[in-house]
Amino acid sequence: MNLNAPAVSTFTHDGLNLSYFDEGDPSGQPVLLIHGFASSAAVNWVHPGWLKTLGDAGYRVIAMDNRGHGASDKPREADAYHPSVMARDSIALLDHLRIAEANLFGYSMGARISVFAALAHPDRIRSLVLGGLGIGMTDGVGDWDPIADALLAPTVEEITHERGKMFRMFADQTKSDKVALAACIHGSRDLVARADMARIDAPTLIGVGTKDDIAGSAQELADLMPNARALDIPGRDHMLAVGDRVFKKAVLEFYAELAQG
């Protein structure tokens, strides 16, 4: 077991080869980590220390490169990236690993995918941690078309949209397929109805940075759900909240409470 450079495997679902790792204690409670837009399992979960944090705490830690990301196949049609479609990839990974029930932990787009998975398969979800996405889950997170345009721009220098430039530079840094990511933007923005959020009764922790200008309020989203709590991650924006110590401590405490029943 290497909590710094996990062994990568692949499985096939929906005609796509999808890359994943399965680390930590094989007998521990499984945690399925679902990364955000333009990221990967390594960038979102290994580099910020989540694999080590959860592995050291005795959990079985599983993470996949979402379709269009990392080492997984990268369709270039927007319809391939609806959150309900990507949620089926995550459930298929649990099926592949013969895991009946898991804790789902998604960040940003991964939080949206996690919610769609919980709505479609409530019996497979022991708990939810939703990071980097609050009431934006139901109300939207602004206009992302300029970000898609930035991904497809010939050069970074000609991008004037600030957030678009940030994501383009991130995509370049991670050597991502920018055409696939632009398709992902157009396909993955499906919102969740407030009434549907109210149907999710799995224990839920929602963590959002206090300087996050994308996610929307964690408390407002928690208020829609019967068994959710909000966490403010102090002084962190959308990019930096994911690896924050306050967030890690809160997640470990949340999982410890679940273990106590």
Q: What is the pLDDT of residue 1?
A: 54
Q: CB count, 10 Å around CB of 38? A: 26
Question: Mean pLDDT over residues 100-111, rounded?
Answer: 98
- The domains of the chain, with CATH numbers, are 8-138+191-260 (3.40.50.1820)
Q: Which helix (H) or strand (E) holds 107?
A: strand 102-107
- End-to-end distance of the chain based on CA atoms, in angstroms? 29
Q: Under DSSP, is residue 109 helix (H, G, I), strand (E, B) or coil?
A: helix
If pLDDT is split at 50, 70 and 90, which confidence band does 2 have? low
Exposure string over 126-165, b if 16+ CB within 10 A, otherwise e: bbbbbbbbbbbbbeebeebebbbebbebeeeeebebebbb
Q: What is the pLDDT of residue 143?
A: 86
Q: Under DSSP, is residue 161 helix (H, G, I), strand (E, B) or coil?
A: coil
pLDDT per position as a tens digit, 107-156: 999 999 999 999 999 999 999 999 999 999 999 998 889 999 999 999 99
134 contact partners, CB below 8 Å, separation of at least 6:
206, 208, 215, 216, 217, 218, 219, 220, 221, 230
Q: What is the pLDDT of residue 3?
A: 64
- CB 143 within 8 Å of CB 152: no
Residue 5 has pLDDT above 90, yes or no: no
- The whole-angstrom separation of Cα 91 and Cα 100 is 10
Q: What is the pLDDT of residue 206?
A: 98
Q: Supply the pTM of this predicted model.
A: 0.96
33 contact partners, CB below 8 Å, separation of at least 6:
41, 44, 45, 50, 61, 62, 63, 105, 106, 110
Going by their DSSP bridges, the two strands 8-13 and 16-24 should be labelled as antiparallel
Q: How far is CA 61 from the centre of its chain?
A: 14
Going by their DSSP bridges, the two strands 228-233 and 30-34 should be labelled as unpaired
Give the tokens for residue 27: 């007998």
DSSP assignments along 173-229, one per residue: HTT--HHHHHHHHHHS-----HHHHTT--S-EEEEEETT-SSS--HHHHHHHSTTEE
Average pLDDT, the chain: 96
- CB 42 within 8 Å of CB 52: no
Give 42's DSSP letter: I
If pLDDT is split at 50, 70 and 90, which confidence band does 238 have? very high
- CB 217 within 8 Å of CB 134: yes
Q: What is the dihedral of CA 130, 113, 52, 245, to 10 degrees?
A: -20
pLDDT per position as a tens digit, 31-65: 999 999 999 999 999 999 999 999 999 999 999 99
Residue 4 has pLDDT above 80, yes or no: no
Q: What does the chain come to in residues? A: 261
Q: Under DSSP, is residue 247 helix (H, G, I), strand (E, B) or coil?
A: helix
Q: What is the pLDDT of residue 248?
A: 98
